[in-house]
Amino acid sequence: MSNNRDMRGASSGNSAGECPDALTVAAYLDGRLEGAELAAVERHLAACRKCATDVLELRELLDNVAGDEPGREEHVREAADKAKKLVRG
């Protein structure tokens, strides 16, 4: 499934190439990437510590939001704030 997203975005100052844009990261976290696009994101995450950390933090926040636990609203706010920061670069 190619959705014509690319790896454009703010450079993270590393040798991993350009960082994926926010839509690509969201698609990756949702499991909507396949084939070459998925492989490209995974290669980038293996080489870019900043993006790997961001994805890990977002995944943890999303996992917390998915649960029906006390403090859920706070987790939703944290996830939204983190997503906004990623989009802004």
The per-residue pLDDT for 37 is 96
> pLDDT digit string (tens) for 45-70?
999 999 999 999 999 888 877 666 66
> pLDDT digit string (tens) for 4-51?
444 444 333 445 679 999 999 999 998 999 999 999 999 999 999 999
The per-residue pLDDT for 28 is 94
The per-residue pLDDT for 42 is 97
17 lies in some domain: no
2 lies in some domain: no
Residue numbers of the domain that contains 52: 22-88
78 lies in some domain: yes
36 lies in some domain: yes
* Total of domains in the chain: 1
12 lies in some domain: no
The answer to whether the beta carbons of residues 51 and 12 sit under 8 Å apart is: yes
80 lies in some domain: yes
Distance of CA 47 to the CA centre of its chain: 14
5 lies in some domain: no
3 lies in some domain: no
The answer to whether the beta carbons of residues 19 and 11 sit under 8 Å apart is: yes
